[in-house]
Chain A
């Protein structure tokens, strides 16, 4: 009953979004503002409707309604209530609904603002938002109904939306339960974070689309969505970081990124999104790179849709599983449709996207940003090719192949290195005219410093060429950033008479975008330190030892002390936990508790490592195997991951940097508004 009600509301929402699309198009073509306003109101209606739908689903999830197929698949009696709520996005149908809910929230937020200057954008923003919503809700309504119930028919137990003839409702005793890999805090926040990022990127795309259709291809659409793009990028970046942390903590592979097609599918929109964020600055400042910005946001949108379906929040959902389901062709159709429409539009409006100024030097800031775009696109090409190559190989040669980490690492390493170099040079380049001399004069001091640091590392830490090049570039970027900060602060100090700390503070406050950006760059290179550490210097060992025996790795000694195994009935888990002593160079450091959790309902096990984290390295101990009857011998796998915690540290600083960069600059806005009013009074048309 309740489930049917939920489905009914969902279906109504679907109709409302369709109405909104047609009303907006009709109102725009026939120049009827009332129709457009009706479309806007209809779109505003979707959020309360979807909230109601979601509320019904959560009610069903929390109250053990196992006759509902989705509830059966993702919950079980042994799960705590908060996990039952988060199971909303723990399966395909629910996560599609979650996506639609977020989309309607953001679209409503955008259309709540005043639209005085940009009335012609409104209908098309509504169209894009509602077409996307209609697609996702349509998926739910027609193919992946979260409210489908299980019926006992003559053919067996089947899910149906409506009660079929000659069948009775079937209520299982208990649910299958959420995949144990998803019951980790990181995995609870990671899908919503990723979806927040995905969905927020739809808004800039909607405005870009509106700009293309209306012909208003100046930077207005960029200014309107600048903050959206930044928040979208924040969420997406954090979603990726959280996913990596989860993989590191829970998968037990000793790493955080496996170049799995699912991971790459979420990484690709991040690449184009980052390029977009940088590139729009050029359009705002110099009116250039307009084609690039359109192209980048279109790519981001399509990659977001692609990524959504490949990364359904079921875990390790393979490309094959998605392709075999019914929604594969539909999603393909939608992407094809949006891609073709967008490309046709951008070709149609090609001329109106002409640059307002010219590029005069290949070392100017504009040119370096162009190079930035090229590098990000190149990494995207590598990733996309890697994902699609197995498909092409199978189609044309019949041979199944795997494209794994060696390919991606080898192909993208030089590109990432080039990006690091660019991060060091670009802040020192000037707008317009810039030569090797001017750039050289600015950069020779940080370069010298970086060389010195690298030489020091060569002597004390490592002789690996690849790592040293990476460290050199990282040192360069850090020194350039500090240099830029100090230069600005000294200038303030001289002109305003502030002391250095106040100068730094007000400098950042007055120019949040730039200096927040520098902090973000800093955080990125800190993350790069972590990545280089684990990629270049990771060591591992595995061995079977008895109680009291030890394994040695890289100055660490891990001694097996004891092992215990017990059942936790309410949680439905069997825990097997080992206790190991850890010492380094003979100094006792403490104990670690690697364990194996076996979940009875889903018959899956999780290997949880014991970790000891320092900035120097991470000691990572896994319990692989143990003698069942007696506890005399156990197999452990140990990783030492140098520098990896710089990655997580960097992500915190990244958060700080984004908050600074995105913080609204109130004083500027207050000045701008009166000026706008006077202009409106003097000219009728705008």
Chain B
């Protein structure tokens, strides 16, 4: 096995080579970080992730990520550009709302009213049902007493029985 042996001259050349490589690498890192400050080119998936949450401003009920028209393609490019500039998802959505109106969002901005009304309606319905239950269940407890009092209170329809009852009452 030949020992790995370098001459003094080659050692200096090695060091220069090493420095050159290190220098090139650092340049590379700096360049990369400059590029990263702008952001790497957003992939289609990054664009779609945001476009999925938006609706095409012109077409009817079409999400922005699947809309095939030229205009939609331009909007998706706009999202890509904004992502490259480092804008966040919220900022991009905000921009779209400012430009095209609230209907470009998949949910109304005033979410409270949207969710509150059906929730209240459903609770009211459940409440009504529950009270209906209670009213059903209550008469079964008081029914027996009510029926007895009815029997006593209501005079008999048959005239003969009525007279008989009157006679009985008199005898008592």
Give yes or no for direct A-B contact (beta carbon below 8 Å). Answer: yes
Which residues of A are found within 8 Å of B110, using beta-carbon distances? Answer: 393, 401
Size class of the contact patch on chain B? 20 to 34
Contact yes or no, A405 B106, CB < 8 A: yes
A295 to chain B, nearest CB (A): 12
Q: Of B32-40, B133-141, B159-167, which binds chain A?
A: B133-141
Which residues of A are found within 8 Å of B60, using beta-carbon distances? Answer: 316, 318, 320-321
Which residues of A are found within 8 Å of B140, using beta-carbon distances? Answer: 358, 360
Q: Which chain B residue shows the least CB distance to A321? A: B60
B141 to chain A, nearest CB (A): 11
Given known contacts A318-B60, A360-B137, is B44 in contact with A399 (CB within 8 Å)?
no
B43 to chain A, nearest CB (A): 7
Given known contacts A359-B136, A385-B118, A542-B48, is B125 in contact with A374 (CB within 8 Å)?
yes
* Residue A403 lies at the interface, judged by CB distance under 8 Å to chain B: yes
Q: Is the interface of B mostly helix, strand, loop or mixed?
A: helix
Which residues of B are found within 8 Å of A541, using beta-carbon distances? Answer: 44-45
Which residues of B are found within 8 Å of A360, using beta-carbon distances? Answer: 137, 140
Contact yes or no, B136 A358, CB < 8 A: yes
* Residue B66 lies at the interface, judged by CB distance under 8 Å to chain A: yes
Contact yes or no, B103 A374, CB < 8 A: no
* Residue A486 lies at the interface, judged by CB distance under 8 Å to chain B: no
Interface flags, B115-140, vs A, CB<8A=1, else 0: 10110011001100100010011011
- Report the Cα distance A36→B122, complex, angstroms: 44
Which residues of B are found within 8 Å of A407, using beta-carbon distances? Answer: 107-108, 114-115
Contact yes or no, A374 B126, CB < 8 A: yes
- Report the Cα distance A256→B126, complex, angstroms: 32
Which residues of A are found within 8 Å of B43, using beta-carbon distances? Answer: 542-543
Q: Which chain B residue shows the least CB distance to A361? A: B137
Size class of the contact patch on chain A? 35 or more
* Residue A544 lies at the interface, judged by CB distance under 8 Å to chain B: yes
* Residue A20 lies at the interface, judged by CB distance under 8 Å to chain B: no
* Residue B155 lies at the interface, judged by CB distance under 8 Å to chain A: no
Contact yes or no, B114 A389, CB < 8 A: yes
Q: Which chain A residue shows the least CB distance to B119? A: A411
* Residue B28 lies at the interface, judged by CB distance under 8 Å to chain A: no
* Residue B88 lies at the interface, judged by CB distance under 8 Å to chain A: no
Q: Of A83-91, A108-116, A375-383, A676-684, which binds chain B?
A: A375-383
B61, B104, B115, B133: the one contacting A261 at CB < 8 Å is B61
* Residue B68 lies at the interface, judged by CB distance under 8 Å to chain A: yes
A321, A390, A405, A411: the one contacting B115 at CB < 8 Å is A411
B149 to chain A, nearest CB (A): 20
Contact yes or no, A402 B105, CB < 8 A: yes
Contact yes or no, A401 B108, CB < 8 A: yes
Given known contacts A320-B60, A358-B140, A411-B118, is B102 in contact with A404 (CB within 8 Å)?
no
- Report the Cα distance A423→B121, complex, angstroms: 24
Which residues of A are found within 8 Å of B101, using beta-carbon distances? Answer: 399-400
- Report the Cα distance A637→B51, complex, angstroms: 14
Interface flags, B143-162, vs A, CB<8A=1, else 0: 00000000000000000000
* Residue B86 lies at the interface, judged by CB distance under 8 Å to chain A: no
A640 to chain B, nearest CB (A): 13
Q: Which chain B residue shows the least CB distance to A625? A: B73
Given known contacts A377-B125, A407-B114, is B133 in contact with A362 (CB within 8 Å)?
yes
**Which A residues from 514 to 554 make CB contacts under 8 A with B?**
540-544
**Which A residues from 376 to 426 make CB contacts under 8 A with B?**
377-378, 381-382, 385-386, 389-390, 393, 399-407, 410-411
* Residue A635 lies at the interface, judged by CB distance under 8 Å to chain B: yes
- Report the Cα distance A678→B103, complex, angstroms: 68
Q: Which chain B residue shows the least CB distance to A636? A: B44
Which residues of B are found within 8 Å of A6, using beta-carbon distances? Answer: none
A367, A381, A389: the one contacting B133 at CB < 8 Å is A367
User: 25 A–B contact pairs at CB < 8 A?
Assistant: A258-B61, A258-B63, A260-B61, A316-B60, A321-B60, A358-B136, A359-B133, A360-B140, A367-B133, A374-B126, A378-B122, A381-B121, A382-B118, A399-B101, A400-B102, A401-B110, A402-B61, A402-B104, A402-B107, A403-B108, A403-B114, A411-B118, A540-B45, A541-B45, A542-B44
